[in-house]
Structure 1
Amino acid sequence: MAALSPNDPCSFSRPDVCQLTHLHLDLDVDFVEKVLRGKVVLSAKKKSADARLLVLDTRDLKIVRVTDESSGADIVFTLHDAVQAFGSKLEISLPAASSTEVKIVIEYETSPQSTALQWLSAQQTAGKRHEFLFSQCQAIHARSLVPCQDSPAVKMPYSAKISAPSQLVALMSAVRQEQVANGNKRSHTFSQEVPIPSYLIALVVGDLDSRRIGPRSLVWAEKETVEAAAFEFSETEAMLAEAEGLLGPYVWGVYDLLVLPPSFPYGGMENPCLTFVTPTLLAGDRSLATVVAHEITHSWTGNLVTNSSPEHFWLNEGHTMFVERKIASRMRGENFRHFDAIGGWKDLSYTVKDVLGVEHPFTVLVPCLNGVDPDDAFSTVPYEKGHSLLMYLEQLLGGPEIFEPFLRAYIDEFKYKSIDTNEWKTFLYKFFKNQSKVLDTVDWNAWFNLPGMPPVKPNFDHSLADACQSLASLWSSASDDLSAFCADDIANMSSFQLREFLSILLDGSVLPEKKIIRMDEVYQLSVMQNSEIKFRWLRLCLKSHMQPAIQAALDFVNQQGRMKFVRPLYRDMCEWSVARPKAVSNYKANETSMHPLTASMIAKDISAFD
């Protein structure tokens, strides 16, 4: 078996021997064969003059030829056997030369089964006119898109030339440049000058339209949803400005948004210059647009300063959750930041106690991922446990006015770099050198290395949550007479508070059927279009074994593929003997139309109930 890297347990690459410094793609999009075909030109730098191997990650790629870019001579290469989810190590023999700079050309073709790419038929799009392609390279799927050093420790600029059907638009995580027509094809060129890890390479090809929503932002979507998207994300520039105030200048130039078809597995993906978002955010009242604040924040925490391996993923996501809520506090008030954090703590508790288990190794903030597909370890833990650590530190060290300067200094210190947790902690102590004794009171081992919930819970402002708790308590303790409940109960509640109300009920005892029926009569929850509310309502109904909820839940998971929603709903159905066979049957009927990552993770969830 080919050995994985000593520096990143999820990569074969050896940047310590020879590291990529630039990547140029020249690819043709073939919707008939469902492949990308062409070449990649890789520039690399040897770490020593006698280095003789460039080691790359691949998965299911057909390597046609490897040549020296300057001479055109063939180069010997070895493609090793595949190793589980990690793919195949590609070893390239470097030309013997005095220079430490090398440039090679790899002619290759992706597989129709590439885990980085989802090919949608016209019927799977909103317009139903043309086929659609989009990529999702995080965590280690870039290797099924292009031979690369697929580790977040390796950051490089890239450029691309993409040839696609002339009636379609091609976009990438880069600045758009020229478009040149060539018969029934059109070539699109792109340039990303800021160094990025391979997981941020992104491509989309589809029937897309755009609207300007800010001085540096367009929103892209299918024609059927572009106007709704322009309304929903109209606060984007305000969020960007708040993030800059906290973290420093935005270095990427363009900040566009792309609303993908419903099968996109995440709420958003922070691809530079082109954030991908799910259509489940289109609530019609901007109430779910806070996901955009999260992806905007990644422009600094994740994209500019990056975790050096998947084991240190919390550095990306914990900081991003923390700053996302800082942005919210500036736009909606400090009590809203705490209110949202309370919801995050509940999500973390559900993941730790109900999904994984309090002793599960994936509940550790800095987990060991030797031999582990990072997709299997993906959960709310790095997001919310990481956020809790930062909020606890902020309160311990003296509050936002003391802690926020650290955030900006952290970005300044490590921008354009990839770091690990020890480097972060060392800088924290350096910045707060006058409070080192305070920092010494932190149980760092428990925070970083022990499973379960965080060792300390931050102090939360419950002012917005109290109304939710009071109403939930009334429902939980109500007797047979439910006539006192009415629509006015929630008239002054925001959609965020309604979500929290349902979350509190989910955490409590099972509600009898008549309470569920009455709740829907007075609050009309079953017809609300806000996806976060619908998701929690369906879970509450399934928990109470409401028979109509089975089909409603199946309809919901078939309408969109956001894993945050579909995985808990599938787990809920599988826990109920009546619903389980229907859930399994539904999965088998729809598996081929799902994103490959979503299909894979749901299959694992279902198998846990066998």
Structure 2
Amino acid sequence: MRLALPLLLATLSTTACTTVDTPPPPAAQAERIVAPILTTPDAVDSATFAQPQVARVTHVDLDLALDFARKRVAGTATLDILARDDAAQIVLDSNGLRIDRITDGRGNPLPFEIGERVEAKGEPVTVTIGAGDAQARRIVVHYTANPQADALQWLSPEQTAGGEHPFLFSQGQAILNRSWIPTQDSPGIRQTWRARITAPEPLDVVMSGVAQGEPEDLGNGRRAFTFVMDKPVPPYLIAIAAGDIDFRAIGPRTGVWAEPEVLDRAHREVADTEDMVEAAEKLYGPYRWGRYDMIVLPPAFPYGGMENPVMTFLTPTFIAGDRSLTGLVAHELAHSWSGNLVTNAVWGDGWLNEGVTSYFENRIVEAIYGEKRARQEVALDYMAILETLEEVGHDAPGTALHHPEGTDSAGSAIVYNKGAAFLRTLERAVGRERFDAWLRQWFDNHAFQPATSNMIYEDMRANLARDAAEAERLMLREWIFEPGLPANVAKPDPAAFAAVDAASAAYAAQGTIPAAETWRGWTSAERQRFLRQVPRDRSAEQLAALDRQLGLAATGNNEELFLWLDLALANRYAPAVPQAESFLAEVGRAKFVRPLFVTLMDEGEWGADIAKRIYTETRAGYHAVTRDSVDKVVGWEG
């Protein structure tokens, strides 16, 4: 049901319904922030079944039990609803949930219907709440999540560092949380939440909310953990992890969780985190989430990191031993402003999260590690943009930052790197002082709210550009809504990689490999730059010489190891196959896994046979995010 905009604005209040029999949980008190929804056409989210203009969820209260033996999450989700007086139904998102019953605030059963499944979207759950019935403005969903829920990764003890206890983690972005939480799963429908989770001893549970005291001993070999998120967040940011994990503090408001076997290395790698928080606050205002903790997950985690509030999830593949890859931590921290504080209302505006965050990340890196490293990482990102444009075409619709319905992004180099290049171009054009003042007011004025490309475009015109003429010179519309790179793009410092580029040219022309001492003295960005510029067609002898001189196969830096394996497999270098097989069996990060399978499949029968053999053995250990992408590459048919 869709109503005209004026009627929607007139009939939907942004104050919470309070007429309920039972008192609301702490996160649903009257003082809480209830973020408004956006009702403009560009804010309509086609990835949800919800009709938030009619009735929307404002708070989720979970009471769930973790069953590792059956790989099952089961219990209740109590939803507070904000609805028009005449609303008779609310529509929720589900993906494979088994719903036993739904009741109102008094326990009275409510009629509901589960609609037909839509591929990659799930199925709608339409609940009759009764027009004008205040009791039905709180509903309780009794349910069980499917053991194969896309958001959840259940790991056997053998898949953990300790090898003794099982592990569970979730990954909800973009629309996977509907596979374990029955709510309205859309970034524009922000919700506060509370959770009580029971788990078997001795496992600990962490979530993307603030822990409420010590776990409760239930006396039956299980403990209960309680968490609260009293600030409205998009549903994809509700996250959970459970396993044999320990905590170690970094600073007064920062710390890291990890398996005991990993904790020492993890703690050393993220030791700069408290300094990063302080640097971020100096740039764009106070950190508003209280604590900033992290958990380093087992290698099956499909992403580099996930910016879940108060508990960033991290892959162990960023642990290099020298903090050379901690830009990842800076990135996830920056999301506490861009993404978590101000969120894209629809996924076609994902650059508002990732592009703004990538710019912010580089500013944190500059503050903590210096201008040289920051400039080099900018140059690597710019190189990735150019590679993508060459691959897909400078006029490809997917190279615009904003992606209207039916248009997919050309990839991360656009959403992340082009978005960051846009802001960097603005910074250089108007000056850092004026740009920083604008970006801070953007975060302040839209805190805990969704946003669209049109909104930031108008905000730039009103609050960044001095007049319409300057707005035109800045090419704001071209950057956001048109493909390719605008002519005014701020190009990276050509001297950032001068020494490396000279070495690359010498290797390409004469086969001169950098001295081992020179290689060790380079930054990781410099080593990655060199490896990306190695001519793709190499003989076995040339590859062996590179490995001997530079120690590529023995590196502890996974970004560099990936580039080496990709180069080796592209040349059917047999000595690299066992290492690639081991790497793909241990690491589930899609950024590494998918490209290596692509490279193998591109190498004809030789590579396809290896790829399919490895994938048959490793697929079960990958998260659904990784599986879905690699299935298409290898032609997996089950």
Indicate the residue corresponding to 1:271 in structure 2. 308
1:440 partner SS: helix
CA contact (8 A) 1:247 1:407 kept: yes
Indicate the residue corresponding to 1:382 in structure 2. 415
Q: Provide TM-score, normalisation by structure 1.
A: 0.93
Report Cα offsets for 1:272-302 as digits up to 9, x if no partner.
Answer: 0100000101111111111000000001100
Indicate the residue corresponding to 1:116 in structure 2. 151
Indicate the residue corresponding to 1:78 in structure 2. 113
Is the aligned partner of 1:493 residue 2:511? no
CA contact (8 A) 2:331 2:358 kept: yes
Indicate the residue corresponding to 1:172 in structure 2. 207
Aligned-partner residue type, residue 55 of structure 1: V
Aligned match of 2:376 in 325, 328, 339? 339
Q: How much does 1:436 deviate?
A: 3.2
Counterpart CA distance in 1 for 2:514 and 2:176 is 50
2:137 partner SS: strand
Indicate the residue corresponding to 1:589 in structure 2. 617
**Count of aligned pairs between the two proteins:** 593
CA contact (8 A) 2:205 2:241 kept: yes
Higher mean C-alpha displacement, 549-558 vs 595-604: 549-558
Aligned-partner residue type, residue 558 of structure 1: A
CA contact (8 A) 1:464 1:497 kept: no
2:289 partner SS: coil
Indicate the residue corresponding to 1:128 in structure 2. 163
Indicate the residue corresponding to 2:449 in structure 1. 417
Is the aligned partner of 1:366 residue 2:366? no
Higher mean C-alpha displacement, 382-391 vs 298-307: 382-391
Indicate the residue corresponding to 1:527 in structure 2. 554
Q: How much does 1:454 deviate?
A: 5.4
Is the aligned partner of 1:63 residue 2:99? yes
Report Cα offsets for 1:398-429 as digits up to 9, x if no partner.
Answer: x3222111111110111010010000111111
Report Cα offsets for 1:100-132 as digits up to 9, x if no partner.
Answer: 981111101100110010111111111011111
Aligned-partner residue type, residue 590 of structure 1: T
1:380 partner SS: helix
Higher mean C-alpha displacement, 553-562 vs 120-129: 553-562
1:137-536 matches, cutoff 5 A: 137-178=172-213, 179-182=215-218, 183-354=220-391, 360-370=396-406, 379-397=412-430, 399-453=431-485, 456-478=488-510, 482=512, 485-505=514-534, 508-536=535-563
Indicate the residue corresponding to 1:53 in structure 2. 89
1:213 partner SS: strand
CA contact (8 A) 1:388 1:454 kept: no
CA contact (8 A) 2:305 2:315 kept: yes
CA contact (8 A) 1:119 1:134 kept: yes
Cα pair distance change 1:491/1:7, threshold 3 Å: closer
Counterpart CA distance in 1 for 2:393 and 2:304 is 25
Counterpart CA distance in 2 for 1:148 and 1:420 is 22
Counterpart CA distance in 1 for 2:383 and 2:623 is 28
Counterpart CA distance in 2 for 1:553 and 1:546 is 11
Counterpart CA distance in 2 for 1:186 and 1:86 is 34
Is the aligned partner of 1:601 residue 2:634? no
Aligned-partner residue type, residue 88 of structure 1: E
Q: Which runs of 5+ in 1 are unaligned?
A: none
> Identity of counterpart residues, as a percentage?
35
Aligned-partner residue type, residue 129 of structure 1: E
Counterpart CA distance in 2 for 1:248 and 1:406 is 12
Q: Which runs of 5+ in 2 are unaligned?
A: 3-40
Higher mean C-alpha displacement, 113-122 vs 458-467: 458-467
1:540 partner SS: helix
Q: Provide TM-score, normalisation by structure 2.
A: 0.89
Is the aligned partner of 1:564 residue 2:595? no
2:531 partner SS: helix
Counterpart CA distance in 2 for 1:493 and 1:328 is 17
Q: How much does 1:266 deviate?
A: 0.4
CA contact (8 A) 1:513 1:546 kept: yes
Higher mean C-alpha displacement, 228-237 vs 582-591: 582-591
How big is the alpha-carbon RMSD for the aligned residues of Structure 1 and Structure 2?
A: 2.1
Counterpart CA distance in 2 for 1:268 and 1:72 is 40
Cα pair distance change 1:588/1:360, threshold 3 Å: farther
Aligned-partner residue type, residue 576 of structure 2: A
Cα pair distance change 1:433/1:595, threshold 3 Å: closer
CA contact (8 A) 1:43 1:101 kept: no
